[in-house]
Structure 1
């Protein structure tokens, strides 16, 4: 089993990740502001199922790769480190679009469409799977037991944290939107903070000598 200290580190990092304003957060806030909290919660259910889809694929694929091709772990580390550095750059690159720009509000949709849009927002985004492949190997070790079991454990923990935070955001979507609009300096500071987190994770992965 993954040590408690590693689980706590994973939980803290997963919390930081979900606090990064991105497509999911913007979509959920937009739905909540324009159609109400119920629409936001239906959309969130779809987003959560999309995460579950990717975690299932990544869990089985990661297990197969790490067991069948030992050298693949080294390749995975290099790829993962590079991707995390890319995320760090995306967080601070100049000319980026405002993360809480909700000028173009979506029209009202039925529950099935809300759920489907939330689902496919994640299912059709390959970056989600690449992120899991980059992130999970830092905490998964064969010495801890079943790689598949560890992967699903981390996956469900990440989904729970993401769901909880996004639910809170939905319930306070209007206030959150107004607060960010009134505090642009905090958004810029938060971008640099998250870039530092991503860079630190990339360095940790690159220096990891064993599985």
Structure 2
């Protein structure tokens, strides 16, 4: 069982880590601006769903295997980078479309939800972060370490979902106002392309 004295410090650190500029919140913001607030929330749900895999892996020790195996780490890393670069290419094609073609709803919420899951699961840095972060707030004398780490992971997911949701609402509101400008759709397509490509390249050079 998680000790009460640990919960608030854990949530405080988790919130700071979540709102710090990074691939996940930038991804949520980009989708919200491009596709609306509901799209940002769907993306946030996908990203947080992906955290279930990382929490389970950290609690069960699978992340330790990933950390110890250079081959496994590289395989997951390059798969994630390839997926991000593929999304960058799709976004680039959006930017080349005539402005009028981009004025309609662009992506299904289910598709964005799945993209959020895949992007999160295929980022080995998240697994390594969880295996390094969660145990710091677990106490072997307080009961099962697995149960504590799963509980902490769920808390992290909950606060991340709330903060990502707020980012989605804010970015979606800004995007809604900007969509009235004829050239904005093209700018969004190219901006998303650069963002996804930058995250993908960063992942390629990520070290354990």
If the length of structure 1 is used for normalisation, what is the TM-score? 0.60
Aligned equivalents of 1:45, 1:19: Cα separation in 2: 16
Higher alpha-carbon deviation: 132-141 or 105-114? 105-114
Provide the secondary structure at the position in 2 that maps to 1:172: helix
Aligned position for 1:23: 23
**Match status 1:36 vs 2:36:** yes
**Match status 1:120 vs 2:88:** no
Distance change (3 Å), C-alpha of 1:176 and 1:142: farther
Aligned position for 2:191: none
Aligned position for 2:10: 10
Q: Extract unaligned runs of 5+ from structure 2.
A: 69-90, 96-101, 176-208
Q: Extract unaligned runs of 5+ from structure 1.
A: 66-75, 77-102, 178-211
Total equivalences in the alignment? 142
The structure whose residues are more often helix, as a share, is 2
Residue 62 (structure 1) shift: 7.2
Aligned position for 1:160: 158
Aligned pairs for 1:1-211 (under 5 A) are 1-61=1-61, 108-173=106-171
Aligned equivalents of 1:166, 1:42: Cα separation in 2: 10
Residue 53 (structure 1) shift: 1.2
User: Over aligned residue pairs, what C-alpha RMSD do you find?
Assistant: 2.9
Distance change (3 Å), C-alpha of 1:18 and 1:176: farther
Contact 2:44–2:161 at 8 Å: present in 1 too? yes
